[in-house]
Amino acid sequence: MNDIIYQKTKGLTNQAMSYCPGCTHGIIHKLVAEVLEEMNLLNHTVGIASVGCSVMSYYYFDCDMIQASHGRACAVATGVKRTHPNNIVFTYQGDGDLASIGIAETIHAANRGENITVIFINNGIYGMTGGQMAPTTLLGKKTTTSPYGRNIEDHGMPIKIAEMFATIPKVAYLERLSVGTPQKVKKAKKSIEKAIRYQQEGKGFTMLEFLSTCPVNWGLTPIEAIKYAEKEMTEYYPLGVFKDVDQDA
């Protein structure tokens, strides 16, 4: 009767999270933390927090954490990993941080094959600053800086990070995931395990792109937001493995 059947992972602290209801940051945090705990890596991991809604993720993950400036998480991770090759190093970045201001640092870290794991959260909007257009915002989507909707003429097409990074030879593992259903959550956890295992094995740069939600800035309820991510976002950003050195070999 009193058996514990579920409890919070030791990979997360007791700090109350700052995320909005219906946002999937919490689920993805939990998955990353569970994997680090289950792989017995919490004592050997250094996480890099970025700038955006997840700016205070350093409070939530119960491992050593370094706060990076906006966009530079992969450069900071490079500095840590190159000098501490035996540590597990991961970055946790949103689409403004990674796909916009930090695209150069991310591409070059991937191109050098830095042996780090990038957790990339793509919700197609700048959440923390109040819902501005991101490079990943879908066409037609109204944001506070695209009040008439994103259009190709002014803004170009939404940038496809996973497809772009799949062309880089030293990327070891790259997958786009969703946490919109329980099945996808379970699958996502397996992919995080794989990425971290590849890092342990020294296989090189691993990145997981998560389609995520922003109900507040999308102007949707949490359930509507999940549906939007599962339909509209997934249509443009197809899920799947884009690179896997073990499969490709």
Binding footprint of another protein on the chain (CB under 8 A): 13, 42-46, 48-49, 55-56, 58-59, 62-69, 72, 75-84, 87, 104-105, 108
Residue 68 or residue 161: which is nearer to another protein going by CB?
68
DSSP state of 63: S
CA distance 157 to 138: 8
Residue 84 or residue 231: which is nearer to another protein going by CB?
84
CA distance 24 to 29: 9
Cβ-proximal residues to 57 (8 Å cutoff; 6+ apart), any chain: 29, 47, 49, 65, 92
Q: Give, rounded to a whole angstrom, the gap between the first and last alpha carbons of the chain.
A: 49
Tell me how far, at minimum, the Cβ of 232 lies from another protein, in Å.
33
* Residue type present at position 147: P
- Give me 46's structure tokens: 């250094």
Tell me how far, at minimum, the Cβ of 199 lies from another protein, in Å.
14
CA distance 27 to 54: 13
Paired with 49 in beta bridges are 67, 92
Residue 71 or residue 124: which is nearer to another protein going by CB?
71
Tell me how far, at minimum, the Cβ of 71 lies from another protein, in Å.
9
Tell me how far, at minimum, the Cβ of 8 lies from another protein, in Å.
16
Tell me how far, at minimum, the Cβ of 178 lies from another protein, in Å.
30
Residue 26 or residue 79: which is nearer to another protein going by CB?
79
Question: Is residue 11 within 8 Å of 62, Cβ to Cβ?
Answer: yes
Residue 113 or residue 222: which is nearer to another protein going by CB?
113
Picking from 182, 210, 34, the residue whose alpha carbon sits closest to that of residue 121 is: 210
Tell me how far, at minimum, the Cβ of 209 lies from another protein, in Å.
21
Give the burial class of 68: count Cβ atoms within 10 A of its Cβ; 0-12 exposed, 13-18 middle, 19 or more buried.
buried
Residue 105 or residue 175: which is nearer to another protein going by CB?
105
Tell me how far, at minimum, the Cβ of 144 lies from another protein, in Å.
22
Residue 65 or residue 241: which is nearer to another protein going by CB?
65
A 10 A CB-CB count for 203 gives 19
Between β-strands 205-211 and 45-49, what pairing exists: parallel, antiparallel or unpaired? unpaired
